[in-house]
Amino acid sequence: MYQIVDSFKSYLSVLGYSSGTQSMLPACIRDFLAYGQYSSIGEIQPVDISKFYEWLHERPLKRGEGALSEMMISHYVYALKVFFSWQLETGAITHNPVSVLKFKRPVCNHRKPLTVAEIQALFTAAVTCREHAMLHLFYSCGLRRSEAVRLQLSDVHFMPRLLYVRSGKGDRRRVIPLTVRIAVSLEQYILQERGRARYTGTAFMLNSKGRAMRGNSYVLLLKSLLRKAGMRKDIGPHHLRHSIATHLLQSGMSIEYVRDFLGHKCLESTQIYARPGSHQLQGL
């Protein structure tokens, strides 16, 4: 049965899904198959999927306390829809058990952007070059967490002041111009902190142990900075990206520019950051 999951992953790759989606959707299908312990795909009925859907609302998290978010459950639903549509197309099944079901639309948990004053407080609290570099990558440059993880030394050019995102969401590339202040801050990190680490790799950012920064490392670094700034907020790196997008739009920047800056494919994705306000973007 699990060979089917490997084939499903190959199918997603051929269709051009991002590497993250190629991992996430098959993982959702593995959980579904493990839950039902089916001997064949053909035996799966709509009632089986309904039971799994109900179980997802009760299933505890694999790490930590709490239950799955509505958005995560919607990912499972999407995985099932894509999987069974693929099985129907290949002739492996004669009916699609998902097609007759209706699922609750998830309530989106919109991130509330930080204010300009809160962003300034974070920059003020930042002491190390690594903390400043982290803030600039996510706020000043608007990177996604996955983009920061993949950022290489060769992607940042200090003389022309450009940062290259080689593989963004959907494998889209973009170039982000850097202000003098951002370029100087990133260069100081390279010269004063990163250069002292015994690391032979090419990752741009390193953690406190001198290894390439991973996604969780960025989360922990930001939480530490929030504590130093006296800000009791449960936020992650993407909140910084959300904040710069909102601040740019509120300062009068065109939505087309912000779309390109963020690496969005369409304007609809950028419009969620457009919030009414008269705040002016200040020099950060």
Instruction: Examine the residue annotation and report whether 139 is marked as an active-site residue of this protein.
Output: no
The token pair that represents 111 in the structure block: 């991130």
> Would you say residue 96 lies in a domain?
no
pLDDT at res. 252: 85
CATH number at residue 244: 1.10.443.10
User: Residue 203 sits in which domain range?
Assistant: 116-271
Both 52 and 155 in one domain: the answer is no
Both 64 and 130 in one domain: the answer is no
Give me the catalytic one of 145, 194, 247, 264.
264
**Residue 226: pLDDT over 60:** yes
Q: What is the mean pLDDT of residues 74-84?
A: 92
**Residue 277: pLDDT over 50:** no
Both 137 and 52 in one domain: the answer is no
**Residue 92: pLDDT over 80:** yes
Instruction: Examine the residue annotation and report whether 238 is marked as an active-site residue of this protein.
Output: yes
**Residue 253: pLDDT over 90:** no
**Residue 181: pLDDT over 70:** yes
> Would you say residue 103 lies in a domain?
no
Q: What is the mean pLDDT of residues 123-147?
A: 96
Both 259 and 176 in one domain: the answer is yes
Both 35 and 176 in one domain: the answer is no
Q: What is the mean pLDDT of residues 177-196?
A: 94
> Would you say residue 276 lies in a domain?
no
Both 138 and 250 in one domain: the answer is yes
Q: Which of 56, 90, 124 is where one domain is finished?
A: 90
> Would you say residue 106 lies in a domain?
no
Instruction: Examine the residue annotation and report whether 169 is marked as an active-site residue of this protein.
Output: yes
Both 217 and 138 in one domain: the answer is yes
CATH number at residue 23: 1.10.150.130
Give the number of other Cβ atoms within 10 Å of residue 273's Cβ: 24
Instruction: Examine the residue annotation and report whether 144 is marked as an active-site residue of this protein.
Output: yes
Give me the catalytic one of 17, 139, 189, 273.
273
Transcribe 85-144 into DSSP letters: HHHHHHTS-SS-TTTT---PPPPP-PPPPPPHHHHHHHHHH--SHHHHHHHIIIIIS---
Instruction: Examine the residue annotation and report whether 189 is marked as an active-site residue of this protein.
Output: no
> Would you say residue 46 lies in a domain?
yes
pLDDT at res. 282: 39
Both 159 and 267 in one domain: the answer is yes
- By CB atoms closer than 10 A (0-12, 13-18, 19+), residue 18 is middle
Give me the catalytic one of 144, 239, 242, 247.
144
Q: Which secondary-structure segment (H or E) carries 122?
A: helix 116-125
When mean pLDDT is compared over 63-67, 122-126, 255-259, the highest value belongs to 122-126
Biggest distance spanned by C-alpha atoms of the chain: 63
Q: What angle do CA 176, 193, 229 make, to 5 degrees?
A: 75
Contact 176, 141 (CB under 8 A): yes
> Would you say residue 109 lies in a domain?
no
- Tally of domains in the chain: 2
pLDDT digits (tens, 9 = 90+) for 43-60: 999 999 999 999 998 887
Instruction: Tell me the pLDDT of the chain averaged across its residues.
Output: 87
Give me the catalytic one of 241, 242, 247, 259.
241
Half-sphere exposure of 57 (CA within 13 A, CB side): 8
Contact 206, 197 (CB under 8 A): yes
Q: Which of 72, 90, 108 is where one domain is finished?
A: 90
Both 151 and 32 in one domain: the answer is no
Residue 5 makes CB contacts below 8 A (sequence gap 6+) with: 26, 29, 30, 33
Q: Which of 47, 73, 90 is where one domain is finished?
A: 90
Lowest mean pLDDT among 49-53, 167-171, 223-227: 167-171
Both 234 and 133 in one domain: the answer is yes
Q: Which secondary-structure segment (H or E) carries 58?
A: none
pTM greater than 0.85: no
> Would you say residue 232 lies in a domain?
yes
Q: For residue 137, what is the DSSP state?
A: I
Residue 86 makes CB contacts below 8 A (sequence gap 6+) with: 8, 11
Both 136 and 206 in one domain: the answer is yes
Instruction: Examine the residue annotation and report whether 273 is marked as an active-site residue of this protein.
Output: yes
Both 29 and 156 in one domain: the answer is no
> Would you say residue 12 lies in a domain?
yes
Give me the catalytic one of 75, 169, 174, 275.
169
